[in-house]
Amino acid sequence: MKCLILLHSATGNTRLMTRYAASCIASAGHECKIRDIVSHPKPPALGSVDLLGVSCPTMYFRPTFAMERYVARLPSTAKPKPVFLLGTAGGEPGAHFALLAEQLAHKGYVTLGAHWLMFPESWPPHLTLVKDMGKTAQYGEMFSRRYPALRPWLAVFWPEIGVSSEADRDNLRRFSEEVLVRASTFEPDVAPSFNDLHKPMPGTNMAGRMVTVEMAAQYTAVKLVPDRCTKCGICVKVCPVGCINQEKKGALPAFGRGCTGCWACFQHCPDQAISGWKSDPAVGKYPGPTKELKELFEPLPS
């Protein structure tokens, strides 16, 4: 079976999860490739793909707008083709999976299942707002142990508890195995409904559906701090929608229209030369997955 996973990762969290899931599929004897939508902005032909995967972070209780735009440009399939969805979130995915499944259905793709993992919160404004909550993280951990079902909500206040465990990793592996079984006996008529892919917490489904790209851009409002910029061009390379441009090498990058609020430019700028809503340069910056997380999601040997 040939599998292709479309990936958008703003900070590296989703990339970790996706590489591990791909290794689970490969270890079962199948071919599985990952296509990063930032480095490969042109949607591929999918005629030879037997199983499609779509993996991206949850932002604003929905999939990233960059991934939604990419999926909108995917070629339609003449006959139903199976797809599975992966996501990472600092708290609750909300409408993430239902929105993607609905969009893919219009192209002829049938979603077999969806799975998400909690990773450390990485949205800079959120990290800035809760930076002082770290002093009471012990209470968040205590409540999380006592009431596991509330963990996504508790992680809103204490991002420290939003870290995947070995059990979470093993659940991802089991999900990957289940998807392969469903794909091998693919029956479009028995696929789960959009609403059964994930049961969101009250209010988050509606919130995700209400957020528009214009709202995300407005409340992101990232901008260049020229005095700090060394004109390296990294922000241009990591922007998933190409709204940051550099006329020539050595020129200041220009931030144009079309921002989708993913904050990748802010997160990856080595000079702390980008600021945004509630976040001065480097304030609230997510440093990327820890060594422990990288080791936890080390890909399986093929």
What's the pLDDT score for residue 184? 94
CA distances from 128 to 122, 124, 175, 186 (A): 10, 6, 34, 46
| Residues 246 and 134 both lie in one domain | no
Residue 142 has pLDDT above 70, yes or no: yes
Q: What mean pLDDT, rounded, does the chain reach? A: 90
Measure the CA–CA gap between 36 and 55, rounded to whole angstroms.
Answer: 10
82-105 average pLDDT score: 95
| 109 is a domain residue | yes
| Residues 241 and 153 both lie in one domain | no
Tell me which DSSP letter residue 197 carries. Answer: S
| Residues 203 and 232 both lie in one domain | no
Structural contact between residues 51 and 79, judged by C-beta atoms closer than 8 angstroms? no
Per-residue pLDDT band for 257 (boundaries 50, 70, 90) equals: confident
196-254 pLDDT, tens digit each: 999 888 899 999 999 999 888 877 788 899 999 999 999 999 999 999 999 888 899 99
Of 70-74, 190-194, 197-201, the range with the highest mean pLDDT is 70-74
| 283 is a domain residue | no
CATH number of the domain where residue 122 is located = 3.40.50.360
| Residues 123 and 178 both lie in one domain | yes
| 180 is a domain residue | yes
| 280 is a domain residue | no
- As a whole number of Å, the end-to-end CA separation of the chain is 15
| Residues 47 and 145 both lie in one domain | yes
| Residues 140 and 262 both lie in one domain | no
Lowest mean pLDDT of 25-34, 48-57, 67-76, 150-159, name the range.
Answer: 150-159
Report how many domains make up the chain: 2
Measure the CA–CA gap between 86 and 57, rounded to whole angstroms.
Answer: 8
| Residues 33 and 106 both lie in one domain | yes
| 78 is a domain residue | yes
| Residues 116 and 237 both lie in one domain | no
Q: Which tokens hold the place of 230?
A: 């060394």
What's the pLDDT score for residue 134? 66
Measure the CA–CA gap between 253 and 259, rounded to whole angstroms.
Answer: 14
CA distances from 2 to 27, 50, 183, 200, 232 (A): 13, 5, 11, 31, 38
CA distances from 93 to 23, 24, 207, 209, 225 (A): 24, 23, 11, 12, 32
| Residues 206 and 217 both lie in one domain | no
Measure the CA–CA gap between 238 and 32, rounded to whole angstroms.
Answer: 24
Q: Which tokens hold the place of 24?
A: 């689970």
Identify the domain containing residue 189 by its residue range.
2-210+289-296
| 301 is a domain residue | no
114-130 average pLDDT score: 85
CATH number of the domain where residue 233 is located = 3.30.70.20
268-295 pLDDT, tens digit each: 999 999 998 877 887 888 889 999 999 9
| Residues 206 and 221 both lie in one domain | no
| 284 is a domain residue | no
Residue 280: partners with Cβ closer than 8 Å, 6 or more residues away? none
Per-residue pLDDT band for 129 (boundaries 50, 70, 90) equals: confident
| 302 is a domain residue | no
| Residues 182 and 237 both lie in one domain | no
The SS3 assignment for 148 reads helix
Residue 163 has pLDDT above 90, yes or no: no
Is the pTM higher than 0.95? no
| Residues 44 and 61 both lie in one domain | yes
